[in-house]
Amino acid sequence: MTDIFRELKARDLVALSTDEEALQQALNAGPVSFYIGFDPTAPSLHMGNLVQLLFARRLQLAGHNPYALVGGATGLIGDPRMSGERTLNERDVVEGWVEKIRAQIERFLDVDGPHAAQLVNNLDWTGEISTIDFLRDIGKHFSVNRMLAKETVAARLQSEHGISFTEFAYQILQGNDYLELYRRYGITLQHGGSDQWGNLTAGADLIRRVERTSVHAMATPLMTKADGTKFGKTESGTVWLDPELTSPYAFSQFWLNADDRDVMKFLKVFSFRSLEELEQIGEEFAAAPHKRIAQRALAEDVTTLVHGEQTTRQVFAAAKALFGSGELAALDPGTLGSATAELPGTQVPAAEVSAGMPVADAFAASGIVKSKGEARRAIKDGGAYVNNVKVSDGEQTITTDDVLDAGGHGVVLLRRGKKTLGALSVTR
């Protein structure tokens, strides 16, 4: 066993915990069975969930026994949010999301070996409880006064719409999960984000009241970004772990674009490099931040964890090729398609673009220049490129040979200078 608690503290991964000394002793003494829960409120996990998945992975690698709960029951209810009531999803939709999320979890936790992860569904026990039994056996141990004091509940009570009894009762359901997992599997530790602290301690308190014993809870800090924007969000929306919802290229770019003020913090949380190696990266990064060594390490590590080594190689090759350091035609069509999908110009309907279009018109249509006149000046100055080939003729047109296969559609890459990229979907 390693002193995993000290490791987690060194990585700034422990915001809150129950009796810290007792928890550290338990983790050092031998295998601890622990759990983390995920509610299927969407078809995929996202960046915030990844913090908890990797936290669980660290505990498993240290010799502890993970249980991953996918909330087939609590996912039908939804944890209260500050912004208001959730829309309840149909049962068959939630069931489908349960299976998708289970498959995602299995990519991060080892399901074989002496500390194999177990996946459980709280619908298996919650669905069997009658209303009377739930109120008598579980509900009587919860103080309404304490439930009202929970930050989210208190905020919702002050809002115009209040909070439904359904969402108010969520913390009882989650508390019962911990009690049931303690009874079935001997689980004595639950972890989650610090915004879940009220739910985490509710379960520990329920076990203390019912079973007359103490169990543990740990909470990670909420991830924040130095620029004030929400972690795990981009201009195009949430960063998902599902490649169909967030392409591997866009995923890697999220990390490559990490703020200099955030990148070392993110490396501690999301990378499995040793603290000694991270310290060395930090020193090199501080000496030459323009080289972005920390961002590259972060993007490579996390993209590999989520999407695998081969896909990571492909998206990094695409990033180089887009800026002229690689061969565009050699890229996998799907990778090229995802790499160009959010560039300026891709929103222009393909029907408005065709082979034979003047290059100056194409640059103007993409939006990377303000006008055809500006495009012509860029060509004259030697700063205009089509598929990384410099344009020298002001009368040059887009030809069918310029159209690259981008996985189901054609695309032409446009670049002004070294860094200003655009792309047009082209009718072939």
* Both tokens assigned to 146: 């304490």
Chain centroid, CA 145 distance in Å = 35
Residues facing residue 35 across a β-bridge: 67, 190
Sign of CA dihedral 223, 227, 230, 235: negative
403 CB-contact burial (10 Å; exposed 0-12 / middle 13-18 / buried 19+): buried
Q: Which residues contact 277 (CB under 8 A, 6 or more apart)?
A: none
Q: In 10 A of CB 380, how many CB atoms?
A: 12
Chain centroid, CA 377 distance in Å = 42
* Both tokens assigned to 385: 């490129």
8 A C-beta contact, residue 366 and residue 345: yes
Binding annotation for L-tyrosine: 35, 170, 174
Nearest-angstrom CA–CA distance, 258 and 251: 12
* Both tokens assigned to 260: 């200099």
Residue located via tokens 């130095």: 226
Nearest-angstrom CA–CA distance, 298 and 276: 15
Nearest-angstrom CA–CA distance, 395 and 392: 9
Tell me the C-alpha to C-alpha distance, in Å, between residue 114 and each of 65, 90, 117, 137, 411: 9, 38, 9, 35, 50
Binding annotation: 35, 170, 174, 233
* Both tokens assigned to 377: 């000046």
Nearest-angstrom CA–CA distance, 381 and 363: 15
Q: Which one, of 38, 75, 66, 40, lies nearest residue 196 by Cα?
A: 38
Of the chain, the end-to-end C-alpha distance in Å amounts to 61
Nearest-angstrom CA–CA distance, 285 and 294: 6
Binding annotation for ATP: 233
